[in-house]
Amino acid sequence: MPIKNRFAEMHDEITGWRRHLHAHPELLYDVHETAGFVQERLGEFGVDEITPGIGRTGVVAVIKGKTDTRGRVIGLRADMDALPITEASGVDYASTVPGKMHACGHDGHTSILLGAAKYLSETRNFDGTVVLLFQPAEEGGAGGKAMVDDGVMDRWNIQEVYGLHNMPGLPVGQIAARPGPLLASSDEFEIVVTGKGGHAAAPHNAIDTTLVASQIVVSLHTIVSRNVDPIKRVVLTVGTFNTDSNASNVIAHTARLEGTVRTLDPDMRALAEERVRRVAEDTASAFGARAEVKWMPGYPVTVNTEDETAHAIDAARAVTPDVDPETPPIMPSEDFAYMLEARPGAYVFLGNGDTAMCHHPAYVFDDEAIPLGCSWFAELVERRMPAA
């Protein structure tokens, strides 16, 4: 079965919205123009309710079906923010804002959800309520968490949530998902090691902080190989290593390490934190130095629930022949994870073809994917809440 015909008719209009948003990217919570654009369109469609300012600058809208006999409520989410990247895509609707670019396709996600909203407002061919969640600050600002913390799930009585993300490398026309973990958690750590600086020719009078920090880096890499269950997936990377020595004949007094831990297993986050602290502090102590560890929890693992993933896959199969129901998980992170912690639901990938990867200055969202994304949202609503 193909995409819904209405979205083929609306394709140019939705592409126009997408390219307008693309030319005017905004960062994190500062998405006032984008949120304003979303509210204007929603107002034109005649949705039942629009509430701005949820999760600071998020927009929540409600579309009621023809009937509501069972009190069903489904949440559909899109992200609105761009990235601090200078665009090098060469498209004629490129960013007009220096240093900002929609390099993750959130302009596409927002436009797709607007397209679905227009269709659902016109047809209302379902029994229940759709709640649209346009969130700010997906790119590191935890805007999804801000909306959940603002009570969005309880206030609108949302029972299950769905979202999508374009995916370079998957063919346009494909929808891919899997039950269980789909994207990794992302935590960061900083370790400041303090030894005793001194003359390079008199190491016996110093505590060589560079050597201590080096031992810590090596030992940190035993966490994944020796502490983590080999069946589970954890990545630990030390990304920076800086000392306060600027000369070859000076022993450093302090060193600073920064790193990240990614995992698909929620229980491994606690283990990694405990081990990073222990290894850093005790290794430093063994050399007479001191290590202070700062742990900065980031986005949780994005975990699709079984039943809702099955519904997402069924809806995908109804609108495209190209569905991968067992796509491998990947190690980037996604703050839809917070919504999936609050409610059952599913996140799917929408093929974006052979383009540069997300977050690359040459990345281009493929507008040909729009009708499929819209059709999937609409089909999902009509299947999960069939008209009475």
Which residues are at the interface with Ni ion (CB under 5 A)? 104
Q: Which is nearer to Ni ion, 110 or 174 (CB)?
A: 110
Q: Which is nearer to Ni ion, 17 or 156 (CB)?
A: 17
**Least distance in angstroms from the C-beta of 352 to Ni ion:** 11
Residues 6+ apart with CB under 8 A from 137: 28, 29, 31, 55, 56, 57, 81, 143, 146, 335
**Least distance in angstroms from the C-beta of 114 to Ni ion:** 17
**Least distance in angstroms from the C-beta of 126 to Ni ion:** 28
**219 burial level (CB within 10 Å; 0-12, 13-18, 19+):** middle
Which one-letter amino acid corresponds to residue 172?
V
Which one-letter amino acid corresponds to residue 261?
V
**Least distance in angstroms from the C-beta of 64 to Ni ion:** 30
Say how far apart CA 293 and CA 302 lie, in whole Å.
26
φ, ψ at 165 (rounded to 5°): -140, 135
**Least distance in angstroms from the C-beta of 186 to Ni ion:** 13
* Structure-token pair, residue 167: 């995916």
Cross-strand pairs, 10: none
**Least distance in angstroms from the C-beta of 83 to Ni ion:** 9
CA 237: distance to chain centroid? 20
Q: Which is nearer to Ni ion, 47 or 104 (CB)?
A: 104
Q: Which is nearer to Ni ion, 4 or 109 (CB)?
A: 109
**Least distance in angstroms from the C-beta of 70 to Ni ion:** 34
Cross-strand pairs, 304: 180
Q: Which is nearer to Ni ion, 104 or 234 (CB)?
A: 104
CB 191 within 8 A of CB 216: yes
Cα torsion 186, 301, 332, 21 to 10°: value is: -100
**Least distance in angstroms from the C-beta of 330 to Ni ion:** 12
Give ∠ CA 363-368-374 in degrees, rounded to 5. 110
Residue closest to Ni ion when measured from CB atoms: 104
User: Which ranges in 183-301 belong to alpha helices (H)?
Assistant: 209-222, 266-286
Residues 6+ apart with CB under 8 A from 9: none
**Least distance in angstroms from the C-beta of 165 to Ni ion:** 6
Residues 6+ apart with CB under 8 A from 322: 171, 173, 174, 175, 351
Q: Which is nearer to Ni ion, 159 or 185 (CB)?
A: 185
**Least distance in angstroms from the C-beta of 104 to Ni ion:** 3
CB 293 within 8 A of CB 190: yes
Q: Which is nearer to Ni ion, 24 or 256 (CB)?
A: 24
HSE of 312, CA atoms in CB hemisphere, 13 A: 30
Q: Which is nearer to Ni ion, 104 or 293 (CB)?
A: 104
| CB neighbourhood size of 226 (10 A) | 9
CB 181 within 8 A of CB 265: yes
HSE of 86, CA atoms in CB hemisphere, 13 A: 2
Fill in the DSSP letter of residue 158. -
